Amino acid sequence: MSRPLTLAEKVWRDHVVAPGVEKDGQRSPDLLYIDLHLVHEVTSPQAFEGLRLAGRPVRRPDLTIATEDHNTPTLEIDKPIADPVSRKQVDTLRDNAEEFGVRLHSLGDDDQGIVHVVGPQLGLTQPGMTVVCGDSHTSTHGAFGALALGIGTSEVEHVLATQTLPLNPFKTMAITVEGTLKPGVSSKDIILAVIAKIGTGGGQGYVLEYRGSAIEQLSMDARMTICNMSIEAGARAGMIAPDETTFDYVKDRPHAPQGADWDAAVEYWRSLRTDEGAEFDTEVVIDADALEPHVTWGTNPGQGVGLGESVPWPQDFADPGDRDSAERALRYMDLEPGTPMRDIRVDTVFLGSCTNSRMEDLRAAAGLIRGREKDPEVRMIVVPGSQKVRLQAEAEGLDQVFKDFGAEWRFAGCSMCLGMNPDQLAEGERCASTSNRNFEGRQGKGGRTHLVSPVVAAATAIRGTLSAPSDVLAAHPA
């Protein structure tokens, strides 16, 4: 019998087109087949241009799908995009999709939205697949037990031309999360705690596999949040073994296998779990029972603490690099060491992004704010991850809950996660954001970001300061 394998190793094994060759003590990468290539307007224009210059076609348009998300406005989507540079980039994608025969969901189309929300929703993301996109948050699709990699534009061109990618082997890390999350604690808090524990470079060279009883209890939306931010720990990808929750999610979606294909697919998918006795290169354990809502205080996603804690003192960091980084972060964030996180007042709350903009996220936030009042000083923007999510939320009346609360209900896209469209923070503006990156200037020049879960975002919008749902339940009865 062959040696026991991890989930990631199995998916890798099943996609090797040509193994690397050993020559003069050097091994070339394995050539892997790519099952699904997701494309958006920002990282693709130079790749299509490369194809044109070399006279190459897209090898498999039928394994490729494009959507407009990063530049698209979330208001007045029926008007031309105001920023001429954004408009040009979107128009370029439209021209390229037309010329190369790639399926595109444009602004205004019911299937338009953030590429990492659209793929799963259409049933195109399935267990055991290799999925790539010129976007680091491609790791999202690992929630289905797919090997999903963010790639650069040269690689986008490579996949368009060959449907393959030369890849060097990775190491494997098990992140075992055992126990049950307390009420008000969500999968966002799990991944923020993981990043705080292993650091923003802790996952480098690894594919992470999240496992354990706490992970098994999570819905697909919650699992996607975790895998999405694997990249924030520096990892190549993050994965979760497919189970009944996964199969139930995929079943009957537009591109799910049907009939006999479905049975064959499920039989294969069941075989993908990490074998008994398979060895991981590294193992990390997280106690779900002990987790609290988690928030960041700094300018990288590893700079976070429990909501009940305070802004740390830079001198408490043993590593000189971490100390410098903390000092710089506190200057940028305009925070004093020792300040309780709960005392930090925000100007804006952003609910959206490929991390937290799915139905479950919107339902959880709406559930908390229903019948309560927003802090009058706070602006809240709600941006569904896709038009389908928007339509579903409207069918459930969630849009009205948000509007009654005083939040802005927008059209789908990446929006304020990275401010490539008009949704940006002003200089010095402080934001509780359900997105994935609190980098300097990420949400707008001089903007200050605290990463939070959807329910912490909702509680913060009610109280005006960083808050847990339990704070709201205690002080603001609905």
Residue 302: both structure tokens together:
């590893």
Q: Between residue 433 and residue 462, which ones bind another protein under the rule CB under 8 A?
A: 437, 439-442, 445
At 235 the three-state DSSP class reads: strand
Least separation in angstroms between CB 413 and another protein: 13
Q: Which residue has the tokens 């402080």?
A: 430
Least separation in angstroms between CB 15 and another protein: 8
Q: Which is nearer to another protein, 268 or 406 (CB)?
A: 268
Q: Between residue 91 and residue 130, which ones bind another protein under the rule CB under 8 A?
A: 92, 103, 110-111, 122-124, 126, 129
Q: Which of 10, 116, 141, 158 binds another protein (CB under 8 A)?
A: 158
C-alpha of 400 from chain center = 26
Least separation in angstroms between CB 336 and another protein: 22
8 A C-beta contact, residue 423 and residue 450:
no
Stretch of 188-196, 199-207, 305-313, 427-435 lying at the interface with another protein (CB under 8 A): 199-207
Distance CA 346, CA 465 (A): 6
Least separation in angstroms between CB 435 and another protein: 12
Residue 426: both structure tokens together:
């002003």
Q: φ, ψ for residue 166 (rounded to 5)?
A: -75, 125
Q: Is 200 in the site for another protein (CB under 8 A)?
A: yes
Q: Which of 52, 57, 62, 428 binds another protein (CB under 8 A)?
A: 62
Q: Is 282 in the site for another protein (CB under 8 A)?
A: no
Distance CA 401, CA 409 (A): 10
Q: Residue 354: which of 457, 229, 193 has the closest Cα?
A: 229
Q: Is 325 in the site for another protein (CB under 8 A)?
A: yes
For residue 397, the tally of other CB atoms under 10 A from its CB is 11
Least separation in angstroms between CB 255 and another protein: 4
CA atoms within 13 A on the CB side of 302: 16
Print the binding letters for residues 227-266 with another protein: x by CB under 8 A, - otherwise. Answer: ----xx-xxx-----------------xxxx---xx-xx-
Least separation in angstroms between CB 476 and another protein: 36
- The partner residues of 380 in beta bridges, in order of sequence, read 349
Print the binding letters for residues 63-82 with another protein: x by CB under 8 A, - otherwise. Answer: xxx----xx-----------
Binding residues for another protein, total number by CB under 8 A = 91
Q: Which of 113, 120, 145, 150 binds another protein (CB under 8 A)?
A: 150
At 11 the three-state DSSP class reads: helix
Q: Between residue 365 and residue 394, which ones bind another protein under the rule CB under 8 A?
A: none
Q: Is 422 in the site for another protein (CB under 8 A)?
A: no
Q: Which is nearer to another protein, 103 or 403 (CB)?
A: 103
8 A C-beta contact, residue 175 and residue 214:
no
Residue 445: both structure tokens together:
């020049």
Q: Which of 72, 86, 348, 357 binds another protein (CB under 8 A)?
A: 86
Q: Which of 106, 204, 219, 310 binds another protein (CB under 8 A)?
A: 204
Distance CA 388, CA 414 (A): 15
Instruction: Report the phi/psi class of residue 132: left, alpha or beta, with left for phi > 0 and alpha for psi in -120 to 50.
Output: beta
Q: Is 324 in the site for another protein (CB under 8 A)?
A: yes
Q: Counting every residue, how long is the chain?
A: 478
Least separation in angstroms between CB 460 and another protein: 23
Q: Is 273 in the site for another protein (CB under 8 A)?
A: no
Q: Between residue 299 and residue 318, which ones bind another protein under the rule CB under 8 A?
A: 300
Least separation in angstroms between CB 461 and another protein: 25
Angle at 353 between CA 347 and CA 358, to 5 degrees: 115
CB contact burial 217-237 (16+ within 10 A = b; e otherwise): ebbbbbbbbbbbbbbbbbbbb
Q: Between residue 1 and residue 60, which ones bind another protein under the rule CB under 8 A?
A: 17-18, 20, 25-29, 31, 33, 35-36, 42-43, 45-46, 49-50, 54, 56
Q: Which of 419, 447, 454, 469 binds another protein (CB under 8 A)?
A: 419
Stretch of 154-162, 306-314, 335-343, 404-412 lying at the interface with another protein (CB under 8 A): 154-162
Between helices 359-369 and 398-405, what is the axis angle to 10°?
A: 50
Distance CA 143, CA 282 (A): 20
Greatest alpha-carbon pair distance for the chain in Å reads 71
